[in-house]
Amino acid sequence: MPLTFAPDTEDALPLTLLSPETLESWLKGQEAATAAWVIGNDFRAGAGKVLLLPGADGAPRGALVGLGAEADRARGRFTLAAAATALPEGDWRLDDTLSGDDLDEAALGWLFAGYAFGRYKAKPAAKARLVAPPGVDAPRLEAIAAGEALVRDLINTPASDMGPSALAQAASDLAAEFGATFSAVEGPELLERNFPMIHAVGRAAEDAPRLIEMTWGDAGPALTLVGKGVCFDTGGLDIKPAAGMGLMKKDMGGAANVLGLARTIMALGLKVRLRVLVPAVENAIAGNAFRPGDILTSRRGLTVEINNTDAEGRLVLADALAYGAEAGPDLMISMATLTGAARVAVGPDLAPFYSDDDGFATALAASARRVADPVWRMPFWAPYEPMIEPGIADLDNAPKGGFAGSITAALFLRRFAGDVNYAHFDIYGWQPSAAPGRPVGGVGQGWRAILDTLPGVLG
């Protein structure tokens, strides 16, 4: 279903937002029958709780929605999204309890609650519709919701239908929708065009590896987005156990996130010169798969010793980053489902990021809080540089010892970003348990915070 607001009509029913702190005073201002109904139904304004208020004819005349206690509000996001799925069909209108960023979060969470992945099995969509609350930029929130839906759809689609060629088609369709330029370098041409590590990682798959490129905009600062597009990761010859492959359709989550961000940038008409690069591969197993112990020469000329074929994402990103850096963009950002170490460090909810630009990092943290898209800064810790330097090549793709795995991966990538202003996001891209506005499955992480940051950091 389209994730849009309902048109403003007089028939929209009121939604009253209450917290445990405001419930008692609200009850004092109601008729005795209404107060008795609320008390009799034990409505205590818990986070996401809904109570319909019956009219004289028995049909709802409105509803109460709980915001939860102050401590609950500090811990949760998108509380109103829970109400969106609990309310009956119809148009609803918020009261004026919320304003500013809180109102934006509530309205966006409602739109997110309308998402359902129904490609293979029909899923009931939320039937309650929200009238755009006064004070929100409805077209902007709808564009963000559409970008998030794209992210989720791409990640949720299994590799049988979302291999490198299908990911390229999705990018091509997106380019066509917004008048962007699309191209792809595929198969043996990757070697001819000097993308040797993208070719090496993906050459064993039946669906040929490729570098996807999309450009849009002819004015403003230059922004390059690079997304890891490993459409399925067996681990290669260093094969993953079965349990480790269970979610590997999501290993192109970085690509999905940059495409969702790109879609929103284009829909909103931001004044940037946008470039999107996605190295799309399947890390498969065959007689021509790259091997542990191989030495690969990258686009930048740096040699890389392969100590684990399951550390393939940084290899394909390295060639793409080197290519992106050659144009000298004002800002280059990579997003990737790169390391399990990041998940151990911060769990599935937080998107860790790396940047040497304190101004960008500070602005991003503020944006993340403002738009309820949490991130956490991690260090490009220079003393760990020797850990990625083996004895017989310039770089090691999988340092031994297991320490600081996310940091060493980020340091590896920085070697290929040249002198441009560069930030890297080591995301998870998956919602492991249902939460308001976020069903189990693919999810965007960090890109909404980036979107909010861009006008300030790019000028």
Give the C-alpha separation, 207 to 221, whole Å.
Answer: 35
Give the C-alpha separation, 254 to 317, whole Å.
Answer: 10
| CB contact set of 456 (below 8 Å; sequence gap of 6+) | 363
Give the C-alpha separation, 187 to 132, whole Å.
Answer: 47
The answer to whether residue 127 is catalytic is: no
* Unique residue bearing structure tokens 């492959």: 245
Amino acid at residue number 16? T
- Annotated catalytic residue within 240, 369, 370, 377: 240
Q: Extract the runs of DSSP E, i.e. beta strands, from 292-389.
A: 295-297, 303-305, 331-336, 351-355, 375-378
Per-residue three-class SS string for 171-217: HHHHHHHHCCEEEEEECCHHHHCCCHHHHHHHCCCCCCCEEEEEEEC
Which pair of structure tokens corresponds to residue 159? 């590799």
Question: In 10 A of CB 219, how many CB atoms?
Answer: 7
Q: Which residues pair with 233 in a beta bridge?
A: 283
Taking alpha carbons only, the member of 80, 92, 110 closest to residue 15 is 92
- Annotated catalytic residue within 152, 314, 414, 438: 314
Q: What is the separation of C-alpha 226 from the centre of its chain, rounded to a whole number of angstroms? A: 13
Q: Which residues pair with 9 in a beta bridge?
A: none
Cα atoms in the Cβ-side hemisphere of radius 13 Å centred on 131:
18
Taking alpha carbons only, the member of 137, 421, 436, 420 closest to residue 300 is 420
Amino acid at residue number 214? M
Amino acid at residue number 445? Q
Does an H or E element contain 282, and which?
A: strand 273-283
Which pair of structure tokens corresponds to residue 323? 């290519």
The answer to whether residue 228 is catalytic is: no
Catalytic residues: 240, 314
